[in-house]
Structure 1
């Protein structure tokens, strides 16, 4: 196993982290015995960063039971505060205390604001006193490092980064999200400020392995050296020196063994020009199904009416290049579940954006299509549920 250093506290973090969202199930519950075998194999191979969250059903408790069997000192726990449930200052302590009980520990090394997608959400938490609460927890040693996980555009990401003295951050990043969400721009921005960057969705939940178009699979299959699509995808991320840890939701011993093998020799700046050309061919194959030729450059922004145009287009394209589910998930998470929503239906057809688009995209017309296709009955139900349970 290789390690990359957290420049803030000199922690040596395994470049492969264990994502605890996708444990195998036995019926409707997590298969504890199977999960423990897989986690033990990972720890024995040198994985020392485990990522979970309050809202990952049963995950914190599963991890806590495992760590209590003699593994706690070998692992750094990362878990997340469901800040969207926080209505008063006392809620922070209540949720955190419950998390410690689930995890069977008295401290968490890496603690995140879960899905902190816009600056307004952080300002709301600040008004509730969260900065004082964090300071007290860090002083007591109950929290080692404070960070946030993020789904949204690069502009909001940088605003959040600049709003507080964060210790680390977590973003979605893979060869298909190079110019979407926080993207390479956000990755480099955070790293330049000395923040460790933790990567989630490196293979888009396995879809960059199992759901690739046949043509894309054929490109990888014919490439030299011979590597699986998963290995190509992971090596692309570790090729970036700004990346600290790549999370993988491993739920099979074979996955653990393959990922550990790759993590044993994948280094930054190791991919050749020929290797990088392979990714361009794969992306071209996937992007043949794109609906809008948006590059995510952001020249169309800011929208005077609050639409996050690049993010809307990215989610819309994902629906057709990946899957209906992943596109809708991205759209809801990145535009709607915000203090101030940025979805396509907010467009007022003013046309200001089109004057600055280097791709000459008919943005107003395309946003109409996005609103029509993405703000469908599934979207409306998800939005209603979110409002009902008090998110944002």
Structure 2
């Protein structure tokens, strides 16, 4: 494992961090506690020392699971990060309420890196009016938090304003080779680094889309031109670690094989280690993906819950894979069986259930025109044979 330092604190953090938003789940959709704890501890035993969770992850259960995983002496081996749920704050008192509740849930006396969650310009201005800057100062003085930061999903000008409004120790941004100009992007990465902030990267695989083992043929052909062959996951992670400004890359690792793969890749994640030829190759892949992908959804699920019960990210995942792989029959069948709830035993969550209420538009950090794309999903997959595919899927799964 390689490590990089947070400039203002001197903390030496593993370049691979464990993101606890997508932990393994059981057949009921609850966290598979035994597997999740084993996975987190395995990562720590193999050098990972930065864990990231948040209040809403896994419907509020991620922090509780992390607390259990960090028992038996594991808490002392890591720097723990969680986040203030900014959208739930209605007053100055709320900030202390959530922080104190998180300390209790996490069974710890302090949070090493406490982030203000999911910031953009308007919500930041509202939090400032509630006294968030004083809250951070007092929380530090009381020892409840050690370092302060923020996670960001907004426009670059707002990002710079937030960076300049407080002497943060770190920030967390979305960054991958498809998103150099999205949200904070490369400009924000360099700006934060110029202010000596540690920088934690989320969505390095863009919701998993950049790590598909068998990428689209057009993309795969480009990768095979490389003088040194790598997996899609390795290309994506190495491209980010190539930037010396990056401190930690978060990965939501819910499969044992993924953890082992990412740990192995992290051993070679040196800055400035990719050649000019390799960087040009990645740029060609970027351009090809942009032509193939339909929706820029990362699967973060901030759009949930949908008042009409639509599985928004699931719909977009299938639409994107359809455009990437052109397998119409498979896409239609998977849409029918997944959105009918046949696999999970949940209520139907079809795109056609969308009433265009617009609530998701306010939540989406990617700024996606969700209702418009849901119309496209319904048109593509809910044809005259739709009900027949649902019945066939239930029969295959032996569901009455």
Name the structure 2 match of 1:285: 288
Give 1:16 deviation, angstroms.
0.5
> What is the CA distance between 1:153 and its match in structure 2?
2.1
1: distance between equivalents of 2:134 and 2:371? 44
Does structure 2 retain, via aligned residues, the 8 Å contact 1:151–1:333? no
Verify: 1:19 aligned to 2:19, yes or no.
yes
Q: Is this contact kept in 1: 2:155–2:183, CA < 8 A?
A: yes
Post-superposition offset of 1:343: 6.8
Aligned-pair Cα RMSD in Å:
3.0
Is the 1:172–1:200 Cα contact (8 Å) retained in structure 2? yes
Aligned to 2:388: none
Indicate the SS of the match to 2:269: coil
Q: CA deviation at 1:375?
A: 8.7
How far the C-alpha of 1:323 sits from its partner, in A, is 8.2
Quickly say closer, same or farther: Cα 1:322–1:183, change in 2 above 3 A: farther
- 1:197 maps to 199
Task: Find the counterpart in structure 2 of residue 336 from structure 1.
Answer: 362
Per the alignment, do residues 224 and 73 of structure 1 end up closer, same or farther by CA in structure 2, a change over 3 Å counting? same
Contact 1:21-1:249 at 8 Å conserved across structures: yes
Provide TM-score, normalisation by structure 1.
0.75
The number of equivalent residue pairs is 321
Residues in 1 aligned to 2:371 and 2:120: alpha-carbon distance in whole angstroms:
24
1:142 matched residue in structure 2 = 144
Which residue pairs with 1:238 in the alignment? 241
How far the C-alpha of 1:217 sits from its partner, in A, is 2.4
Once the two structures are TM-superposed, the CA of residue 135 in structure 1 deviates from its matched residue by: 0.9
Aligned to 1:47: 48
CA distance in 2 between partners of 1:156 and 1:319 (Å):
32
Deviates more, 1:128-137 or 1:49-58: 128-137
Give the C-alpha shift of residue 221 in structure 1: 3.8
Q: Is the 8 Å Cα contact of residues 16 and 247 (structure 1) preserved in structure 2?
A: yes
Q: Does residue 29 of the first structure (1) align with residue 30 of the second (2)?
A: yes
Contact 1:152 1:334 in 2 (8 A): no
Cα 1:333–1:54 change in 2 (3 A) is farther
Instruction: Tell me if the contact between 2:9 and 2:169 (Cα under 8 Å) persists in the aligned partners.
Output: no
CA distance in 1, matches of 2:116, 2:251: 20
Q: CA deviation at 1:371?
A: 9.1
Match of residue 210 from structure 2: 208
Helix, strand or coil at the partner of 1:115: strand
Greater displacement, 4-13 / 279-288: 279-288
Paired with 1:194 and 1:49, the residues of 2 have a C-alpha distance of 19
CA distance in 2, matches of 1:167, 1:65: 27
Q: Provide the rounded CA distance (Å) in 2 between the counterparts of 1:174 and 1:323.
A: 22
Moved more, 173-182 or 281-290: 281-290
8 Å contact kept, 2:153–2:366: no
CA distance in 2 between partners of 1:186 and 1:124 (Å): 22
Given the superposition, is the C-alpha separation of residues 36 and 212 from structure 1 closer, same or farther in structure 2, using an over 3 Å criterion?
same
Distance 1:334 1:233, change over 3 A: farther
Moved over 4 A (4+): 317-325, 332-335, 341-344, 374-378
Does 2:190 correspond to 1:158?
no
Q: Do structure 1's residue 70 and structure 2's residue 96 form an aligned pair?
A: no
Identify if the C-alpha distance between structure 1 residues 333 and 286 changes in structure 2 by more than 3 Å, giving closer, same or farther: farther
Query: Residues 15 and 244 of structure 1 are in contact (CA less than 8 Å); yes or no, is this contact kept in structure 2?
Result: yes
Which runs of no fewer than 5 residues in structure 1 stay unpaired?
Answer: 293-316, 345-369, 379-392
Query: How far does the alpha carbon of each residue in 1:357-376 deviate from its partner, in whole angstroms, 9 at most, with x for none?
Result: xxxxxxxxxxxxx6983596
Residue number in structure 1 paired with 2:111: 108
Secondary structure, counterpart of 1:114 in structure 2: strand
Could you tell me how far apart the structure 2 residues matched to 1:343 and 1:32 are? Answer: 34
Answering whether residue 122 of structure 2 is matched by residue 96 of structure 1, we say: no
Question: Would the aligned equivalents of 1:152 and 1:335 in 2 still touch at CA under 8 Å?
Answer: no
Match of 1:87 in 2: 90
> Does the C-alpha gap of structure 1 residues 139 and 37 become closer, same or farther in structure 2, counting only changes over 3 Å?
same
CA contact (8 A) 1:112 1:146 kept: yes
Query: Could you list the per-position Cα deviations for residues 11-70 of structure 1 after superposition, in whole angstroms to 9, with x for gaps in the alignment?
Result: 001100000011110122101111111111111111000000000021100000111222
